[in-house]
Amino acid sequence: MAVNSFREDEQQAQVSKWKTLTRLYRYLLAYKSRIAVVLLIMLATISINMINPLIVEQAVNVHIANRDMKGLLLLGLAAVVLNLIMVAGVKARMIMMAKLSNQVLLTIREELYVHIQKLSFSFFDSRPTGKILARIIGDVNSLKDMLSDSVTTLIPDFLTVIGVITIMMAKNVKLALAALLTLPFMAAGMFVIQRVSHKAWQVYRKKSSNISAFVHEEMSGMRIVQSFRAEQESRDNFDVLLKEHRQSWNKSVRCADLFGSLIELTWGAGGFLLYYIGIKVIGVGEIGIGTFMAFSTYLAMFWSPIRNLANFYNKIVTNLAGAERIFDILDTEPEIRDKSGVGELPDIQGSVEFDRVSFAYSDEPETKVLKDVSFQIRPGETIALVGPTGAGKTTIVNLISRFYNVTEGHIRVDGYDLGDVSIRSLRRQMGVMTQDNFLFSGTVKDNIRYGRLDATDEEIVAAAKAVNAHGFIMQLEKGYDTELSERGQSLSVGQRQLLAFARTMVSNPRILILDEATSSIDTHTEILVQKGIQALLKGRTSFVIAHRLSTIKNADRIFVINHGRIEEAGSHEELLAAKGQYYELYQAQFRSLTSA
Ligand SMILES: Nc1ncnc2c1ncn2[C@@H]1O[C@H](COP(=O)(O)OP(=O)(O)OP(=O)(O)O)[C@@H](O)[C@H]1O
Residues 191 and 97 in one domain: yes
User: Measured between alpha carbons, how far is 212 from 230 in angstroms, rounded to an integer?
Assistant: 19
Residues 353 and 323 in one domain: no
Mutate to test the pocket of ligand 1, among 126, 359, 361 (most ligand atoms within 8 A of CB): 361
* DSSP code for 382: E
User: Measured between alpha carbons, how far is 274 from 408 in angstroms, rounded to an integer?
Assistant: 75
Residues 195 and 154 in one domain: yes
**What is the predicted ipTM?**
0.95
| Ligand 1 contact, 393 CB (< 6 A) | yes
Residues 317 and 353 in one domain: no
Residues 293 and 418 in one domain: no
User: How far does the centroid of ligand 1 lie from the alpha carbon of residue 361, in Å?
Assistant: 9
Residues 301 and 380 in one domain: no
User: How far does the centroid of ligand 1 lie from the alpha carbon of residue 335, in Å?
Assistant: 19
Residues 288 and 354 in one domain: no
User: How far does the centroid of ligand 1 lie from the alpha carbon of residue 395, in Å?
Assistant: 6
Backbone angles phi, psi at 372, to 5 degrees: 55, 55
On whether residue 496 sits in a domain, the answer given is no
On whether residue 11 sits in a domain, the answer given is no
The predicted pLDDT at position 6 comes to: 77
**Three-state DSSP class for residue 112:** helix
On whether residue 124 sits in a domain, the answer given is yes
Residues 254 and 361 in one domain: no
User: Residue 362 class from Cβ within 10 Å (0-12 exposed, 13-18 middle, 19+ buried)?
Assistant: middle
| Ligand 1 contact, 48 CB (< 6 A) | no
User: Residue 352 class from Cβ within 10 Å (0-12 exposed, 13-18 middle, 19+ buried)?
Assistant: buried
Residues 247 and 370 in one domain: no
Mark 23-37 as b/e (b = at least 16 C-beta within 10 Å). ebeebbeebeebbee
| Ligand 1 contact, 361 CB (< 6 A) | yes
Domain, as residue range, for 414: 348-393+404-429+510-519+541-596
Residue bearing the CA closest to ligand 1, atom 25: 389
CA atoms within 13 A on the CB side of 429: 23
Residue bearing the CA closest to ligand 1, atom 29: 390
Length of the chain as a residue count: 596
Is residue 484 within 8 A of residue 443, CB to CB? The reply is yes
> What are the pLDDT tens digits along the chain (596 aa)?
455 677 777 777 777 888 888 898 899 889 999 989 988 998 888 888 878 888 888 888 888 888 888 989 998 999 999 999 999 998 998 889 888 888 999 999 999 999 998 888 888 877 788 888 888 888 888 887 778 777 777 777 887 888 888 887 887 787 777 777 888 888 898 888 888 888 898 899 889 889 988 988 888 888 788 877 888 888 999 999 999 999 999 998 888 888 888 888 888 887 787 777 767 766 666 656 666 666 677 777 777 788 788 888 888 887 888 888 889 889 988 888 888 888 899 999 999 999 999 999 877 778 899 999 999 999 999 999 999 889 999 999 999 999 999 999 999 999 999 999 999 999 999 988 887 778 888 899 999 999 888 999 999 999 999 888 999 999 998 999 999 877 777 788 888 888 999 999 999 899 999 887 766 567 777 788 788 888 888 889 999 998 878 888 889 999 999 999 999 999 999 999 999 898 988 887 766 555 44
Q: Looking at ligand 1, which atom is closest to the CA of residue 395?
A: 18
| Ligand 1 contact, 248 CB (< 6 A) | no
For 160, 187, 194, 251, the CA distances from 311, given in Å and listed in that order, are 16, 13, 11, 17
For 74, 165, 299, 512, the CA distances from 294, given in Å and listed in that order, are 20, 13, 9, 81
Q: Which residues fall within 8 angstroms of residue 574, CB to CB, at 6 or more apart?
A: none
The predicted pLDDT at position 532 comes to: 82
Residues 318 and 375 in one domain: no
On whether residue 487 sits in a domain, the answer given is no
**What is the pTM for the complete model shown?**
0.73
Residue bearing the CA closest to ligand 1, atom 28: 390
On whether residue 61 sits in a domain, the answer given is yes
On whether residue 245 sits in a domain, the answer given is yes
| Ligand 1 contact, 120 CB (< 6 A) | no
The predicted pLDDT at position 46 comes to: 82
The predicted pLDDT at position 1 comes to: 43
Number of domains in the chain: 2
User: Residue 397 class from Cβ within 10 Å (0-12 exposed, 13-18 middle, 19+ buried)?
Assistant: buried
| Ligand 1 contact, 206 CB (< 6 A) | no
On whether residue 12 sits in a domain, the answer given is no
Residues 299 and 364 in one domain: no
CATH code where residue 297 lies: 1.20.1560.10
On whether residue 223 sits in a domain, the answer given is yes
CATH code where residue 368 lies: 3.40.50.300
Residues 293 and 422 in one domain: no
Mutate to test the pocket of ligand 1, among 127, 369, 561 (most ligand atoms within 8 A of CB): 369
The predicted pLDDT at position 422 comes to: 94
